[in-house]
Amino acid sequence: MTHLEPFGDAAAWLAVLDSSQAEVAEALGLTGGRSVPSTEAIAATSTTGLLPPLPGIDGRWTLAVSTGLASISSRRLTALAALLGTQVLLFDTISDPGRRDDVLARAAAESVDPRTLSGEVPGHALLFDDLDEGPPPADLVTPPSRTPWLWSKLTGR
């Protein structure tokens, strides 16, 4: 069970209609998630938090929370909606703090009002570390040159 906490100030989140956490994680390319308290999931900055599906407008909404989502393009949103076969909405109170109240009101009207989240819900909040490719390898890998054997296979000689 997850104990929900309200959020919305200086946050960015995707609301995905009638999709599981696993489906949303896969669509976003997230791997290696771990169960965390919802307060940690909604405070995600360089990580991505996923809340379990919550009841809201027209169904259950899975919320993906990360400050990194503030820069997601409309093209990427359209691709996510097509991939998941459902409605995907972006809410962002980071980019323009002056529109915070408008964004939160739109979230309340279209999906789930994050300011009113409270109590227990079935499932667990998950936290995914963003992909860190690390430093490049010490020895750069060079592609092999064409070998006579490969060339003979390609040309049939």
Flag whether 124 is in a domain.
Answer: yes
CB atoms within 10 A of CB 78: 11
Checking if the pLDDT of 139 tops 80, the result is no
Longest dimension (CA), the chain: 73
38-96 pLDDT, tens digit per residue, is: 999 999 888 999 999 999 999 999 999 999 899 899 999 999 999 999 999 999 999 98
The pLDDT, as a whole number, for residue 76 is 93
Residue 144 forms part of a structural domain: no
Which structural domain range is residue 117 located in? Answer: 2-132
User: Is 155 inside any structural domain?
Assistant: no
Q: For residue 28, name the pLDDT band (cuts at 50, 70, 90).
A: very high
- 122, part of any domain: yes
Take residue 122 and report the two structure tokens written for it: 């079935």
With respect to residue 103, please indicate whether it lies within any of the assigned structural domains: yes
Measured from the Cβ of residue 62, the count of other Cβ atoms closer than 10 Å reads 26
pTM: 0.80
The residue length of the chain stands at 157
Span 90-137, pLDDT tens digits: 999 999 888 999 999 999 999 999 999 999 998 999 999 864 444 555
What lies within 8 Å, CB to CB, of 135 at 6+ separation is: none
